[in-house]
């Protein structure tokens, strides 16, 4: 079984690029600088989530059942994949990351039963997310 391609330099941790391709059938080799697939750069856990999400045709209730996770966890993982692919509000600045983290904290507290649905909704509506 082939190894998964690394996407970060083990020395400086910057992005790696593909520079050589080889045919599996004949001795042909192609050299150059090739971009990598965005999905190929996702960690295994995110790839598993994406596969389940696609298999379930984006139906969050089905994803919950298949992966055995709650609605807030599905949403959190989906947001994480969206951001990892370079989309979404998390890429516009650190304040949005803080807001995203606070939203996830509120959803996690709701999932644990530490907050009522009413209180969680109130906190999520509050732009500053203060208690």
- Asked if the structure places residue 44 within a domain, the reply is yes
Please give the pLDDT value at position 96.
Answer: 63
Exposed, middle or buried, 49 (CB in 10 Å: 0-12/13-18/19+)?
buried
- What range defines the domain where residue 68 resides? 40-125
Please give the pLDDT value at position 93.
Answer: 46
Short-list 114, 43, 131, CA closest to 72: 114
User: What is the rounded average pLDDT for all residues in the chain?
Assistant: 83
- Asked if the structure places residue 1 within a domain, the reply is no
Domains in the chain: how many in total?
Answer: 1
Short-list 18, 45, 17, 38, CA closest to 30: 18
- Asked if the structure places residue 14 within a domain, the reply is no
- Asked if the structure places residue 74 within a domain, the reply is yes
The pTM for the full model equals: 0.52
- Asked if the structure places residue 22 within a domain, the reply is no
> How does pLDDT run across 14-57, given as a tens digit for each residue?
888 888 889 999 999 999 888 778 888 788 899 999 999 999 99
Please give the pLDDT value at position 89.
Answer: 59
Q: Characterize 78-109 residue by residue with b for buried, 16 or more Cβ atoms within 10 angstroms of its Cβ, and e for exposed.
A: bbbbebbeeebebeeeeeeeebbebbbebbbe
Query: Which CATH number characterizes residue 66's domain?
Result: 1.10.10
- Asked if the structure places residue 119 within a domain, the reply is yes
């Amino acid at each position: 079984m082939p190894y998964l391609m690394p996407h970060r330099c083990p020395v400086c941790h910057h992005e790696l690029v593909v520079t050589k391709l080889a045919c599996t059938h004949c001795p042909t080799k192609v050299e150059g600088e090739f971009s990598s697939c965005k999905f190929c750069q996702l960690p295994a856990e995110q790839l598993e989530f994406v596969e389940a999400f696609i298999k379930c045709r984006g139906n969050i209730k089905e994803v919950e059942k298949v992966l055995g996770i709650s609605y807030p966890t599905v949403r959190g993982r989906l947001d994480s994949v969206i951001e990892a692919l370079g989309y979404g509000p998390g890429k516009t600045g650190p304040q949005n990351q803080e807001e995203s983290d606070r939203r996830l904290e509120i959803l996690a507290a709701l999932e644990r039963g530490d907050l009522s649905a009413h209180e969680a909704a109130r906190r999520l509506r509050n732009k500053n997310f203060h208690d």
